[in-house]
Structure 1
């Protein structure tokens, strides 16, 4: 056993209070995954941006991998400056109302940007080719095209911004957000109740921000130990919702006991086993609170 560290270390930058998890597996018998995700530390490690998107993947949504990519990219683009502002404001409660108002507008910003991506794609390479309405007078040429049909790009979206003082999260469509508190109790702040089958809200709809659910939660005793976002391929792999919640709680517990690196190393295997049950693409991202380290003498 070696002796105590005696070398004087130079002053280091403040360590980020979170470690990130990010894992994804392709669904059984699928050619490629329709899921996309992002997990980033921003604002010098004082905030986290998380996002998962699930392209619908059916025959009617045959370009939904593009839609899921745009969902994550555009959410991240909008949420990153928001996260910087949330980190700057910190625990100054007098500025929280303005921040919450900005959070309320964020889904519309993302929706507009996503639709812009889809419309640009349609202008250059229409999903169904060039389509025109039949002319009222068959002797005259057709004059105006049909409105754009963006269903081919349909995708869900879940996003979150986490700081040491608050959590913001947004959800359109299916999937799950789980917050595991300091007592190891899981909470699903945007849960909609029983699964409604294959029906889900989508970014391809008109004004999708009107169906986006949101949640804001301030922290009085510090950030929770574990915040997880996942596509519905994970929760569908369990016999019931409680089994899924137990998985989330157990993941947070293992991270605390074994370290986040060990959990990250095992994550592909866990998600792969889940995918064999659900048959769906399965993606999970998360932020795990890292205990503050005491400085060495």
Structure 2
């Protein structure tokens, strides 16, 4: 669903992974980016293997709870932000909000289990129950003067700046091992949350595109360069067509990515359209590319190409890192 906004336009799209029984991703993109109506984006990725049979529910709870906490955080900013208060909110964003968010999710999960217990019974050990709903989470909040984002586990936050530069501000210093990932189901998951804090003193020089995606998208490329090229191509098409001009194409692009990764693939994005400089009707006749990112860059010697789906079910792509 596309929502046209004064400054920002938003879109969420998701496709189910090849051979999967259900889509275990969840996403939300809403708001205009104003002080009264902050821009809030989030994607959550349920782990998906038989060890996490309720992770689709866990992903929905994760996204829903982030929206509540994200809007609550934005409301604390207000129009006037004295330096001392902003420093206090920085500490809140880095330490307190992740803990509250994780506890919100774990309490939501426990309440759901008590209402709808599995064969283990309503009084099953709490830690065992939380694991059944395991999910990752990426979320972002943008208001005038400030952009903040949080991440637990895999997935990507990709930003395109006003000069067209692509960056991943929450990328981990070290790639996670194999398919292991941090998870909301861990007892002290808040200690593993990464936080990006970015003041925006000049709104005109702020980000032009925010894109949050589950790892089904990035895993479809043979290299980091391929994923960056995808974002560059996406931004170019947004600049030329506007979001209405690519809204029907995005699910097809995600389906192509999912065909390579075999995983559920979800994208939540916000594009800041230039005031008075929209694409107009030109997008309607613009040629459609089969893939928004163009040809895959030549792989480095010895690098493996993404495998084609072999018809098997990819049901255990993620496990939580303990």
Normalised by the length of structure 1, the TM-score is 0.84
Out of 39, 60, 74, the residue aligned to residue 65 of structure 2 is 74
Whether 2:17 is the aligned partner of 1:27: answer yes
> In 2, are the aligned partners of 1:22 and 1:264 still within 8 Å (CA)?
no
Whether 2:49 is the aligned partner of 1:58: answer yes
Kindly state the Cα deviation for residue 109 of structure 1 after the two structures are TM-superposed.
Answer: 1.3
> In 1, are the aligned partners of 2:31 and 2:37 still within 8 Å (CA)?
yes
Q: Distance in 1 between matches of 2:80 and 2:122?
A: 52
> In 1, are the aligned partners of 2:151 and 2:193 still within 8 Å (CA)?
yes
Please give the secondary structure, in 2, of the residue aligned with 1:156: strand
Whether 2:253 is the aligned partner of 1:263: answer no
Q: Distance in 1 between matches of 2:137 and 2:159?
A: 17
1:41-52 alignment, distance < 5 Å = 41=31, 46-52=37-43
Q: In the alignment, which residue of structure 2 is the partner of 1:4?
A: none
Q: Distance in 2 between matches of 1:287 and 1:33?
A: 22
Whether 2:26 is the aligned partner of 1:36: answer yes
CA pair 158-250 structure 1, distance change in 2 beyond 3 A: same
Please give the secondary structure, in 2, of the residue aligned with 1:59: coil
Q: Distance in 1 between matches of 2:90 and 2:272?
A: 23
The structure 1 segments of at least 4 consecutive aligned residues displaced by more than 6 Å after TM superposition are none
How many correspondences in the alignment? 267
Q: Distance in 2 between matches of 1:166 and 1:54?
A: 26
Q: Distance in 2 between matches of 1:90 and 1:270?
A: 42
- Structure 2 residues without counterparts, runs of 5 or longer: 278-322
Normalised by the length of structure 2, the TM-score is 0.77
RMSD: 2.1
Q: In the alignment, which residue of structure 2 is the partner of 1:187?
A: 167
Q: In the alignment, which residue of structure 1 is the partner of 2:131?
A: 151
Please give the secondary structure, in 1, of the residue aligned with 2:226: helix
Q: Distance in 2 between matches of 1:26 and 1:275?
A: 8
CA pair 241-209 structure 1, distance change in 2 beyond 3 A: same
Q: In the alignment, which residue of structure 2 is the partner of 1:276?
A: 259
Please give the secondary structure, in 2, of the residue aligned with 1:217: strand
> In 1, are the aligned partners of 2:113 and 2:122 still within 8 Å (CA)?
no
Whether 2:200 is the aligned partner of 1:200: answer no
- Structure 1 residues without counterparts, runs of 5 or longer: 1-14, 133-144
Structure of larger gyration radius: 1
